[in-house]
Structure 1
């Protein structure tokens, strides 16, 4: 077992201002767009974490120059070529966004990753690239490890995929679509696509980079062929990673301000404002950021989280500390994330004395008095931060492998400790 981190207990309402690092989702999309642009550009204030550093390494292996210049990354697109090896870790954006880029390269590109990455679906991307003429050696598994046998270009055109297990299948094809000879038209053929906010993010960022995107027809996205602009792209704070800090204010009856909360954003984390208000908090946004103040009581909630599934662990943690039951639905796809998040939340909260049941598409949570114990994270950063929220009110919560938070939130434990110290001064 990895070393245990003793989640600190809040002995008084938390009052603090925190600065959350940049968004992983924005950073990795910005890197791909900069790598495929017609000229150099900058990714400003990027998140520096395991997932984004894996993206940087993967793009460099394909021939893209990425230089560290203080707070920013300078990106100089180059001729994409193999042979190359891409380590995906357990980063969904890397394992899904880079195969279409590799299809544009001349030569073989091998994709591998952590053991858990072998269990995560890639069929939407692999089948689409095959339909567009790219050769892929995946031994018939439609998963990692695999090799993309790039031919130096992709013809493009219309492709039909089932993206019901991940919106990243759509985003992956759209991001590289401007570089396909005919562009790309992606048609989703399955049940509803989860995390549609992330596709909206992709579309917005493509348009900002000069791409022509038509998303006016439901479940159809068209990207015209054309050059992408080399430009400055500024990365917003990661609003999903703000979740545990806002939750700290809610469950302790305190007040936490997250700096630089954008006025307009496509990030799913922006839904935290309405969700945590329903659960008993109040939110105020100013030029300084977003302040959430706890109301002294935490209420249960019924919420469809289909489009914001990544928020489920922290919401489940808050719900386990509420004064009434909660029902979180629309998140069956979480079984295919960094771990099976639904099964993991049930087991770990119940092992602390909770009463959580897994349903077809989510969780039912009935609050009970919790006790200390080991909270396993399964190499999942959002489980680790959810455990920290529980530990604020439950003495003796020991978080296994809290270091997994480095995936998207470096120095989480330092930020958490500083937040708790701030209330005393």
Structure 2
């Protein structure tokens, strides 16, 4: 099956330098993680659903396209209100996953419920991302799948109109999305599913909690009282309105700008109660030297201009590793970032990429199997490769606030989760936001 995504030319970008503390109040689009889960749950519901203030970005547009290919009607012409009307899942279909781990791991279980073959492929780089444990789990449930060597993309799921369900054992230590993908589809299995993780700890536990909470909000019965075991009863989900929170991961580079420049950044519209790991982020930002407060306006981070070195386990918030690594390179002491060995299988090997790029700018960086040790040194300008990875671009932008002459090889990769990033960032630095 050919790659379905056209090649996008790189978009070089000079990271703007801040000449004074940034002061900004910004409103960001919705959470990618919540938007993806709400779309999948809506496709399995017994009536229409609405997503209020979802994220419109490459990942979520491709997710909507994948669900359309499976038969759902998705109307997303209104940026503020997407409407999904479910329809019995069918094939044949071809689904472009782009670079989205959510699509390549959430939609194959749904494809098993379809009535004909469903093929998956995406950008060339996504073919090396781990998928085997999910493929093996689906095969153990009776789903016939043809996959590339190593059980990765491209693959074809031969839907037979349903999945019997039952107990499945999986090693999800490479990605919590393996479990989330099975959980989201499990209400549609004839007998539901009991998913048992066996192996090293599952990373990104807050994303699993989000999956469980959103399933329950849609009417699913989920028992997660036993550690590393999730039992989902069969049953129809309810169509409903989903209010999508602002994207916390997308806000972190802007919060980092407050720390680096001694400024203040407010994420407007932040809810009092959140499905995202906001408390973990609060603790981390305070350790790095920030002050974090919340009021009726939103979530505010203030900095002093001095960033502290940290010894931090980032396993619950691994998406933040590139930005935290950039902060560590600008800190007043050494840092150790732990618990993130699995991000070697993200859009790129993020640990190797960060070590190479930060070292190239003058920092001293050592790789470990599960993280990085970073010793700050005077940094200099230079070219920062982004590896077609939005989080690497965010890290480079943070460094460019105080290091003159940081040139990103491609800022266009930020369209994966926040197309507005270059404009929002430049406006913040120039004082226009």
* SS, match of residue 377 in structure 2: coil
Distance in 1, Cα, partners of 2:172 & 2:231:
15
Query: Secondary structure of 2:227's partner?
Result: coil
Shift of 1:72: 1.1
1:56 paired residue among 45, 61, 64: 64
**Counterpart check, 1:380 vs 2:371:** no
1:288 equivalent in structure 2: 297
What do residues 271-311 of structure 1 show as CA deviations (whole Å, max 9, x unaligned)? 22211111111011001101111023211000001111111
Partner of 1:157: 166
Tell me, in whole angstroms, the C-alpha distance in 1 between the residues paired with 2:425 and 2:371: 28
Q: What is the distance in 2 between the residues matched to 1:169 and 1:3?
A: 33
Which residue of the other structure, out of 227, 239, 243, is the alignment partner of 1:234?
243
What is the CA deviation profile of residues 394-423 of structure 1, one whole-angstrom value per residue up to 9, with x for unaligned ones? 000001110000000111010001112227
For 1:31-180, list aligned pairs within 5 A: 31-70=39-78, 71-180=80-189
Between 1:290-299 and 1:206-215, the stretch displaced more is 290-299
Gaps of 5+ in 1: none
State the SS of the aligned residue for 2:408: strand
State how far apart, in whole Å, the 2-side matches of 1:272 and 1:380 are.
22
8 Å CA contact 1:18–1:258 kept in 2: the answer is yes
1:205-256 CA distances to partner (integer Å, 9 max, x unpaired)? 0000000000000000011001100010111100011000000000100111
User: Structure 2 residue aligned with 1:182, among 191, 204, 207?
Assistant: 191
Q: 1:299 aligns with which of 288, 308, 313?
A: 308
Output the CA distance in 1 between the equivalents of 2:203 and 2:162: 30
What is the CA deviation profile of residues 369-417 of structure 1, one whole-angstrom value per residue up to 9, with x for unaligned ones?
1111110011100000110000000000001110000000111010001
Deviation at 1:269?
A: 5.3
After TM superposition, the runs of 4+ consecutive aligned structure 1 residues lying more than 3 A away are none
Return the alpha-carbon distance in structure 1 between the equivalents of residues 279 and 124 of structure 2: 32
The separation in 2 between residues aligned to 1:132 and 1:326, in whole angstroms, is 44
Deviation for aligned residue 1:260: 1.6
The Cα offsets for residues 143-168 of structure 1, whole Å up to 9 and x where unpaired, read as 00000000010000100000000000
2:254 to 238, 242, 245: 245
Query: What is the DSSP-based 3-state SS (H/G/I as helix, E as strand, rest coil) of the residue aligned with 2:17?
Result: coil
CA distance in 2, matches of 1:316, 1:78: 44
Give, in angstroms, the shift of residue 270 of structure 1.
4.9
Partner SS state of residue 315, structure 1: helix
What does 1:336-347 align with in structure 2 at a 5 Å threshold? 336-347=345-356
Is residue 240–residue 268 contact of structure 1 (8 Å, CA) maintained in 2?
Answer: no
Aligned 8 A contact 2:11 2:412 in 1: no
Cα distance in 2 between the residues matched to 1:6 and 1:377:
13
Identify the match of residue 316 of structure 1 among 319, 325, 336: 325
Please tell me whether the aligned partners of residues 218 and 240 of structure 2 are also in contact (alpha carbons under 8 angstroms).
Answer: yes
Shift of 1:141: 2.5
- Distance, in Å, in 2 between the alignment partners of 1:316 and 1:268 is 19
CA shift at 1:73, angstroms? 1.1
**Aligned Cα RMSD in Å?**
1.2
2:12 aligned with 1:12: no
Task: Output the CA distance in 1 between the equivalents of 2:260 and 2:333.
Answer: 14
2:293 match: secondary structure: strand
Shift of 1:140: 4.6
2:421 & 2:198 partners in 1: Cα distance?
39
- 1:274 equivalent to 2:274? Answer no
Matched length: 424
Question: Per-residue CA shift, 1:165-207, capped at 9, x if unaligned?
Answer: 0000000000000010000100001111000110000000000
> Is contact 1:239–1:270 with CA below 8 Å preserved after alignment?
no
For residue 95 of structure 2, give the secondary structure of its aligned residue in structure 1: strand
Looking at structure 2, the residues matched to 334 and 268 of structure 1 have their Cα atoms a distance apart, in angstroms, of 18
Query: What SS class does the counterpart of residue 250 from structure 2 fall into?
Result: coil
Whole-Å separation in 2 of the counterparts to 1:3 and 1:21: 22
1:326 has 2:335 as partner: yes
**Long gaps (5+) in structure 2:** 1-8
Q: Give the match's secondary structure for 2:159.
A: strand
Partner of 1:389: 398
